[in-house]
Structure 1
Amino acid sequence: MSLVPVPPRTVTPIKTTPKLTPPPPVITTPCDPLPDPYYIGDGLRRVKPYHFTYNTHCKERWRGRTLVDIFAEEFRDRSQEYYADSISRGLIVINGKVATPATVIKNGDVISHTLHRHEPPITASPIAIVHEDADLLVINKPASIPVHPAGRYNHNSVVEILRSQYANAFNPSPCNRLDRLTSGVMFIGKHRAASERVATEIRARTVRKEYVARVVGEFPEGEIVCEKPILQISPKLGLNRVRANGKTARTVFKRLAYYPPCEDGADGQPRDGPADLPWRALRGYSIVRCMPLTGRTHQIRVHLQFLGHPIANDPIYCNQRVFGPALAAGESGGEDDEDVITRLGRMGKEEVAEAVAYHDEIVDGYQKRRGEKMTGEKCDVCGTELYSDPAPHELGIYLHARKYADEAGRWAYETELPAWALPPPGVAGPTEPTPETDPLAVDLAALGVEVDGDTEATVKESKAATAAAAIV
């Protein structure tokens, strides 16, 4: 077959310039000078209220909904009346233009909300440095401090506090995350390469982690493995529970110490938690070392609750007002999920005595001890309902990330035991971790734990079931 040459065609260039839709305008935050936003008092780190503007692009689920409906449903920390008034006053606008509560949001809209921001106080305890070099900070994060700015917290976060302490010499980049109420070891990259390197190691599960917890009751001795899957029940409330259709989750536990009950409180230990509960005082408590083999949200807290030994001052998973007298020990069904979500959602805003009539005395005790709650007062500047200061027992839970260690033995960073894990005054007990109770030294193969190429552990069902039955 012969090839036939084709003469080139003349192409006329398009002379018109395509029209590009400019992005919608947004609002900038009014200038509130904050050279040093922090001040310390009563053992708390505080931030003076300041104006701040949130700019949020329209989410898919917001399309076709009214402006006031979106705020009332998605941002429930304030009343619908507050949002309607803010829209009418021009504090909430769309694409830089005044809107009405009935304005319908469409794709591409940018919502700007300027408010007088009130950050909750956090502990004044300093962020201790475990290790520092040119690339990395290893810190001991105090409980009560969130890692990133989120929700009601901005300046009162690990990232912003470190940025302030180092005079903006670097942009802190956390490599791992701890819950706000949890304390312990965290890795902070000083530059992107260091942060990505450490984060990759952690994600690859070549790093073993040890947590320490103080739990209700006499935790069994020996190696206890819990492999119950965990499902997120309420993303908004951060509630997770053991469910058969949840994600794989496995934790190894070893008891460090058990301190029997002391009915008259002569052990010198404060009865921390949502209330001064007699059932806790009568059961005593244990110090437990924990090694999570997977990284599910609230994994240790949920597994300990399922095993019948929740963290002693956990405001969620050790709360009878939410889960009832048995605290959901051994439960894996979802029959009461809606009731649990409702009760948990009302905590901190109103009491739920009508939902827990079976332990009114506990509710009364909680009211006397609870610190952070709505006071009935309002801010003179913005009318925001004000909260009282949190009580000391509300600044954290008895869960501490004590040690991170590379599997190959190249490095390890650890802290001492927290004060709440030490023996009560006048009582004998371990003041430091012992080799016999080290979960990182557990022979997983001997327990029936097989580790695949992704370092995900597969625990034999019979082994976990036996442990759970013995504990519950």
Structure 2
Amino acid sequence: MTLDKPRQVLEMVNGIYYAHGLRKIAPYYHSRTSFAKGRWLGRQLLEVLSDELKALSSEQYSLGIQRQEFQIVRNACALSVPETFTAKIENKDIIKTISHKHEPPVRQWCSDESDTEAGKKIGGFEIVHECSDLLVLNKPSGIPIHPTGRYYKNSMVEVLKNQGTDAYPTHRLDKITSGVLIMAKNPYMANKIQGQIRQRTMQKTYLARVEGCFPKVQDSHALGKGCLPSATEACADENKATVEDSEIYTIELKKQFPAAFSVARNATTKFYPVRYYAASNQTLVACQPITGRTHQIRIHLARMGHPIVNDPFYNKKNTKFPRRLQFMLDVYNWNIGSISSERLESYFKDFLRESNSFHDGEPSSIREECKECGINLYPDPQLHDLQLYLHAWKYRDSTGDLDYETSLPIWALDHNLELQAAMKE
């Protein structure tokens, strides 16, 4: 289970330690190599680093080359520092980078990652199903599935490797989302299940705790007390379904305009009210995405006026980027209608200013530097920022061969959330 109470720092093992409910990784050096890309040929390494990566300034990359953190490996030998500055990259050159990694912490999900509980857990993760080909887990919130961005050792794939298990994720769940995670034990099975997902033969049911009294919730009073129904029972009555059908896209400010705006694609989600919490004016909702777009459930709920209670982006009460959110709520497809390219670019610049303004206003602690590598050190995230009240409850394929349902997250059962809201009134 996830530990919500702050914990004292435990003994560090293999660079891993725990503090205040977070799983933390001590800084370490990490090297990676890649073959020179065609567009790099004939250019000096400093020029390539400065133009393409942009994570550091040209001066910082120059210092990195002097420290041999960036190297050109030619004919299995690393060039000297002076040669690395002057040489032009050739075909078959290998670019080697050595970085001092500062991984962000993740939410601590268990007290002992080595506890297997006679096959019921692995790496502290709850096992939903295991056979020779598959490992199905109940993913906790607050940890990414596989190495990505700044995360490497703080990922489920790497945690499982530490337990001697190689597993291949067959689908994605956001870092802050919990629930059914189907992993294959070999590439063949991973490709097979990924094919089924692409063909939309998998039915997925999520749970979300949302703001307000959800449509048709009055027809669900029978579900308001006692144990929750199964995922199948919760979505059995089509008369209780509310269907949201609107186009979905994302806006990634790390990209340049207009590539920052992804193509808007049609998306359909069915919603079924499960339980209404009168004291907090919140509803537990079962969600069945018919299509599979990024953040589909979260965006659809927000557009319906029932955002997920603790959604850090798509709930107006929580978002740090209200202008960008309002645009996505109002504009279902940016590529059609009355928005000109010039106007769209103006929106993009506004979103950039909003983002920069927020980051410039963050606590000064983020401007502290690592004494060893000079990188900016960011403050630890808050526990509540690593959890979303969205849970992948059930996955089932059209044949019924794959049929998995997880245990319920505490926020779907905990009546204390309702009582706390009542006490504030």
C-alpha distance in 2 between matches for 1:289 and 1:121: 30
CA contact (8 A) 2:320 2:358 kept: no
Q: Which residue of 2 aligns with 1:313?
A: 310
C-alpha distance in 1 between matches for 2:306 and 2:85: 48
The alpha-carbon deviation at position 81 of structure 1 amounts to: 4.1
Normalising by the residue count of structure 2, what TM-score does the alignment of the two structures yield? 0.71
Q: Greater Rg, structure 1 or structure 2?
A: 1
C-alpha distance in 2 between matches for 1:228 and 1:396: 26
Instruction: Kindly provide the CA deviation profile for residues 252-274 of structure 1, in whole angstroms up to 9, marking residues without a partner as x.
Output: 12222333565xxxxxxxxxxxx
Q: Which residue of 1 aligns with 2:139?
A: 141
Selected match of 1:177 from 147, 172, 176: 172
Distance 1:234 1:426, change over 3 A: closer
Q: Which residue of 1 aligns with 2:398?
A: 407
C-alpha distance in 2 between matches for 1:291 and 1:384: 43
The gaps in structure 2 that reach 5 residues or longer are 1-11, 110-123, 217-239, 335-343, 420-425
5 Å matches for 1:38-437? 38-59=16-37, 67-68=45-46, 70-72=48-50, 74-95=52-73, 96-97=78-79, 98=81, 108-125=92-109, 126-165=124-163, 168=164, 170-221=165-216, 222-234=240-252, 236=254, 246-260=264-278, 284-318=281-315, 319-324=318-323, 327-328=326-327, 329-332=329-332, 334=334, 335=344, 337-339=347-349, 341-343=351-353, 345-346=355-356, 349-351=359-361, 374-425=365-416, 427=418
C-alpha distance in 1 between matches for 2:52 and 2:279: 44
CA contact (8 A) 1:308 1:330 kept: no
* Letter in structure 2 aligned against 1:289: A
The alpha-carbon deviation at position 324 of structure 1 amounts to: 3.6
The alpha-carbon deviation at position 186 of structure 1 amounts to: 0.7
CA contact (8 A) 1:374 1:385 kept: no
* Letter in structure 1 aligned against 2:30: F
The alpha-carbon deviation at position 391 of structure 1 amounts to: 0.8
Distance 1:117 1:238, change over 3 A: farther
**After the TM superposition, which of the residue ranges 68-77 and 302-311 deviates more from structure 2?**
68-77
Normalising by the residue count of structure 1, what TM-score does the alignment of the two structures yield? 0.65
* Letter in structure 2 aligned against 1:295: G
Identity of aligned residues (%): 38
C-alpha distance in 2 between matches for 1:65 and 1:287: 57
The gaps in structure 1 that reach 5 residues or longer are 1-33, 263-283, 353-366, 368-372, 429-472
* Letter in structure 1 aligned against 2:284: I
Distance 1:245 1:77, change over 3 A: closer
Structure 1 vs Structure 2 CA RMSD: 3.5
CA contact (8 A) 1:53 1:115 kept: yes
C-alpha distance in 2 between matches for 1:380 and 1:47: 17
CA contact (8 A) 1:348 1:374 kept: no
C-alpha distance in 1 between matches for 2:193 and 2:397: 11
The alpha-carbon deviation at position 208 of structure 1 amounts to: 0.4
Distance 1:340 1:144, change over 3 A: farther
CA contact (8 A) 1:232 1:238 kept: no
The alpha-carbon deviation at position 403 of structure 1 amounts to: 0.7
C-alpha distance in 2 between matches for 1:80 and 1:341: 26
